[in-house]
Chains A and B, each alone.
Chain A
Amino acid sequence: MFSNLLYGLGIAFTPFNIGIAFVGCLVGTVVGVLPGLGPTGTIAILLPMVFSMPPTSAMIMLAAVYYGAMYGGSTTSILVNIPGESASVVTCIDGHKMALKGRAGSALAVSAIGSFIAGTFSVIVLTFIGEPVAELALRFGPAEFFSLFAFGLCTVASLTGKSVVRAIMATVFGLMMATVGIDLISGAPRFTFGNPFLLDGIDFIVVAIGMFAISEVIIIAEELKSGARGQVIKPKSLYISFEEFLFSIGSILRGTVIGFFVGVLPGAGATLASFLSYDIEKRLAKNPETFGEGDIRGVACPESANNAASGGALLPLLTLGIPGGGATAVMLGALMMLDITPGPLLFQKHAHLVWGLIGSMYLGNLLLLVLNWPLVNLFARIMSIPARYLMPIVLVISTIGVWSLSYSEMDLIIMGVCGVIGYYMRKHNYPLAPVLLGLILGGRMEQSFRQALIISRGSLLTFIQKPISLTLLIGAVLFLALPYLLERSRQFRLAREASFEEEA
């Protein structure tokens, strides 16, 4: 293994490949920062350029764009509440709160460090135990996926904010939006009102930008008008302190492990990973009430998770020839155009490419950290721009980002409507994140549920007969019930202690 790694590092550390990895990381960072334009589209745009390169260099560059985008994704989430990528939605919750409290620098820095640790961890796993982990991913069929998504939906419990009922309503709203579009299982369009632009459903990132960014603009406009808001937030920190780092290192490591394993599963993705890790982090915390109010751990865990997930998604592509999602599907296409058949024999037949790529990812993660570190300081200063100048820019960037997705006016309308809905919800203390959780999980959860039932010929027992599925479902039930039971036992204990005292 080590000889393979050294061989790969040897390939990656040629001047041309170092240069190409740097360009890839740079492009990835920019793409990550800009909302809307995601790694999938960018890789497609870069394809003609990379075909004039040797295959190894081509893949080094495309992969760098892919994992680089996850580094940049947190920037706009933290600074202006626009999720740069769909996997950065969770980062908005605590990240933007931190920025409002003058701690943008800490938030940006912790996400850069978290991303670096997560990225490096996933390459190490890829190097040493790639194949067995990928085989594990194949064990996930529709029944297992349904239970995983059900488990994911339980994470809503930690996104509730003040009222559980409101959180459930928000989740249901998201689940309802997820039903719009062609139903995969029957082939019939649902709730599209004859409009072809709704056939593919409502885009997650459009809703995310509308709910978070547009509602933010409206609220700030209102506050500026009424004078409730000062113009400038004075940054307290431009970097992270050593105490803050120590405080968040546990979250980074847990986010990394969760993110990687969710990322490996084809189709589960970085977004689910970020929600899951946030939930688990909040449950483990001694003082969960600080989550949602600008807790640095609430930035550290999802940002580590989405980076680890992007590394994880490369694993089934390289070891099995199966794409894990949008961006890896384009990379699979690129491999074919480079005359390399993606499949289980990739490691044997194209060792140069695979190990060169893995070697470059060690370098790439380091490059991204070096690249992003000075930007932390620079970006943190954006918070000192007066809101009345910053907010119009946010509006423009959001609009362009949404437009660039598929050049559809419908998307812009949905963004606007979601902005107004988001504004209403925030004014009335409805949490926004559950809507997005419902939207991203709803469609896939329904699909897996129905796929599993077709396979089991209609028997619901399939979900508890399969060990992985059963474990996940038990986990989901425990997740929901545990806080309640703990609270009950605490009250019971208190009551007993009280009665003891009375007796005494």
Chain B
Amino acid sequence: MRRIALLSVLVVALAGFLVAIQGSPAVAWEPKKSIEFIAPANPGGGWDTICRTSARVFKKTGLVTKPAYVKNMPGGSGSVAIAYVVEKRKGDNNLLVAASNSLTFSMAIKRTPYTYDDVTPLAQVASEYGAYVVRADSKFKTLADLVKALKADRKSVTFAGGSAPGSMDHIKVALLAKEIGVDPLEVIYVPYQGGGEALASLLGGHVDVGSLDVSEVAGQLEAGKVRVLAVQSESRLKGFPNLPTAREQGVDVVFTVWRGLYMAPGVSKSAKKFWVETIKKMVATPEWNAEREKLGWEPVVKFGDDFEKYVKDEHQRYKSLLKELGFLK
């Protein structure tokens, strides 16, 4: 009896040892040290907000027990951060990096040599939508008024946005022009250093139409200082049900600004799985949704392979779009 007992102890011990040296494939990966977020921009912007909000919700809900901190790494619309992550942080399972369409544009316009093939796309956590915004006293009452003016004289309207030509705010204008049969490159677009400056210029009456995110103008809208001619969403926004979409006014412009996260290349499968599952759980928590609503973000999410396919398709789409618009040869 004692022998059998001893033998079984040995067998169990050996089995345990074998499992241990195999890196325990059966046991799921979870973070053992602190989590690092990289926001590839200065504090205060969309990327920074994704990181800080996620970190806070992780902590509040106990989804991730290890502490998380945010590092800002601005430069070239995500180019600096992606170069750093690909070159220096390969295989780091504890690193999450914020991203959005801006990064896809940086790739499409070849501001960075890296693409989504070089990193591990993880998830889209929310969406935002842009809008065509005018001052409350503008002569443009509806999108139709604006379209009419553009068709009559494509140079008669001055648009403003918070990014350089060929980047997001300009593309939203270009898509409108393309849709109504006006040469996008002929439409007047004034780029500003960020949405805030574009908004100030719109309010001051220096430009006619702002290409801005709905969340950026929420306060002005509430005060009746601006009018939203059209939102570039598929259907009306949950947070702003009174704002008409472009589509319902017969102009088919849909442009989603997604907000999401990616990881370094070469992370382990189980780590990727852990983060996908954790983010899936996070976006379902009331804590996350409360924060999301405050920011005016819409609950549109994608995970893992779905997300990866989406951003890779998007990269190709933007490349052909930029070619069509004359920004790429």
By a beta-carbon cutoff of 8 Å, the part of chain A in contact with chain B is: 40-41, 43-44, 47-48, 51, 137-142, 182-187, 189, 196-197, 199-200, 266-267, 316, 320-323, 326, 329-330, 332-333, 336-339, 341-346, 406-408, 444, 447, 451, 454-455, 457
Contact = CB atoms under 8 A, between A and B. Distances in A.
Nearest to B208: A455
B197 A343 contact: no
Nearest to A343: B219
Contact of A336 (B190, B192, B203, B294): B294
Contacts of A346: 219
B201 A406 contact: no
Given A43-B43, A185-B164, A407-B71, A344 B111 contact: no
A130 B70 CA distance: 35
A189 B188 CA distance: 21
B164 A186 contact: yes
Given A40-B44, A266-B200, A182 B76 contact: yes
Interface string B128-163: 000000000000000000000000000100100000
A333 B197 contact: no
**List of 9 A-B pairs having minimum Cβ-Cβ separation, nearest first:** A343-B219, A199-B76, A44-B43, A141-B206, A187-B164, A138-B204, A344-B223, A330-B44, A321-B219
B75 A199 contact: yes
B80 A47 contact: no
Contacts, number: 162
Contacts of B49: 333, 337
B175 interface: no
Contacts of A43: 43
B74 interface: yes
Contacts of B199: 322
Given A200-B76, A320-B203, A408-B80, A47 B52 contact: yes
A36 to B, nearest CB: 13
B42 A342 contact: no
A266 B220 CA distance: 16
Contacts of B166: 187
B193 A447 contact: yes
Interface of B: 42-45, 48-49, 52-53, 55-56, 59, 70-77, 79-80, 83, 109, 111-112, 155, 158, 164-167, 188-194, 196-197, 199-201, 203-207, 215, 218-223, 225, 291, 294-296, 327
A41 B222 contact: no
A367 to B, nearest CB: 25
A196 to B, nearest CB: 4
B225 A344 contact: yes
Contacts of A323: 44, 196
B204 A139 contact: yes
29 contacts: A138-B203, A139-B204, A141-B204, A184-B193, A185-B165, A187-B109, A187-B327, A199-B77, A200-B76, A266-B200, A321-B219, A322-B200, A326-B43, A329-B45, A333-B45, A336-B215, A336-B295, A336-B296, A343-B218, A344-B223, A344-B225, A345-B222, A345-B223, A406-B72, A406-B75, A406-B80, A455-B158, A455-B190, A457-B188
Contact of A44 (B72, B158, B223): B72
Contact of A48 (B56, B74, B204, B218): B56
Given A196-B83, A341-B222, A447-B193, 13 more contacts: A43-B43, A51-B56, A137-B200, A185-B191, A196-B111, A330-B44, A333-B45, A337-B291, A343-B218, A343-B222, A345-B219, A408-B80, A454-B190
A333 B56 contact: no
B44 A455 contact: no
Contacts of A326: 42-44
Nearest to B76: A199
A187 B215 CA distance: 24
A322 B195 CA distance: 9
Contact of A329 (B73, B196, B203, B225): B196
B44 A329 contact: yes
Nearest to B196: A323
A414 B91 CA distance: 30
Contacts of A345: 219, 222-223
A187 B167 contact: yes
Contacts of A457: 155, 188
Contact of B197 (A267, A337, A406): A267
A61 to B, nearest CB: 16
Contacts of A41: 43, 72
Given A138-B204, A141-B206, A330-B44, A197 B80 contact: yes
Given A142-B201, A266-B196, A337-B291, A44 B75 contact: no
Nearest to A44: B43
Given A326-B42, A333-B48, A344-B223, A267 B193 contact: yes
Contacts of B219: 321, 341-346
A142 to B, nearest CB: 7
- Which of B75, B158, B225 counts the most A-chain CB atoms under 10 A from its CB? B75
Contacts of B158: 454-455
Given A51-B56, A406-B74, A457-B155, A44 B80 contact: no
B282 to A, nearest CB: 16
